[in-house]
Amino acid sequence: MSQEAFPSGPPSPDDLRLISDQLAATRLLPVVVISRAADARPLADALAEGGLRTAEVTMRTPAAIDAIRALAEVPDLLVGAGTVLTRAHVEQAVDAGAAFIVSPGFSPEVVTHCAALGVPVFPGVASPSEIMQAFDHGLRTLKFFPAEQLGGAPMVKALAAPFADARFIPTGGVTAASLPGYLALPSVLAVGGSWMVAPKLLDAGDWKEVTRLTAEAVALAKESTNAAA
């Protein structure tokens, strides 16, 4: 899904709903650190075989932009850019075809520039003050980062109490074992995780294992969501 899906100007409710609905469908967002752009297409295939059509490619490696560009060309794949720290990062990611932006913290410059380009952004928050800053900018879907280190699911539950309109994407240190605790919370839209796309698996080209872990995570997410309903 390329940037052409989003006209310039603030993201419309339909834009945000499109992203949110796809994330909510599986409630999982693979967080990818990729060292070779050539691995992007086999990664997309492995994720799809496991039941996922979403990916966040972190801008932590020189290959990230080319990988986003390759993934943006895959039909029905929703690809976003993560670890976006600056206005320049936003421009590079959107130019490559990122459909949404994820940042580890709250940067007014990043958020404002995403709005100017018409691209949904999920900034990272770790405290009530940061959530209030995000609310002041009209944002309601937020990355909670680093989730496990900040107290995990109990902390998300505590933050959700005074911020009933917030939807969280907990990311950071999440594992298959801790996943159900997050998905039991109605305030959690989706969970970001890297265990199914660990860099060592990508570097080894172990796409079968990526598919296996992805399918396992999808099944676990579905079971956890149904149990919480």
The one catalytic residue among 91, 143, 200, 208: 143
Whole-angstrom distance, CA of residue 118 vs CA of residue 113:
9
H or E segment to which residue 19 belongs: helix 13-26
Do 187 and 228 contact (CB within 8 A), yes or no? no
The one catalytic residue among 49, 56, 209, 222: 56
Distance in angstroms between the alpha carbons of the first and the last residue of the chain: 31
Helical residues (DSSP H) of 27-107, grouped into ranges: 40-50, 64-72, 87-96
15 C-beta neighbours (distance < 10 Å), count: 18
Whether 143 is catalytic is yes
Whether 157 is catalytic is no
Handedness of CA 130, 132, 133, 138 (dihedral sign): positive
Do 153 and 185 contact (CB within 8 A), yes or no? yes
H or E segment to which residue 167 belongs: strand 167-170
What residues act catalytically? 56, 143
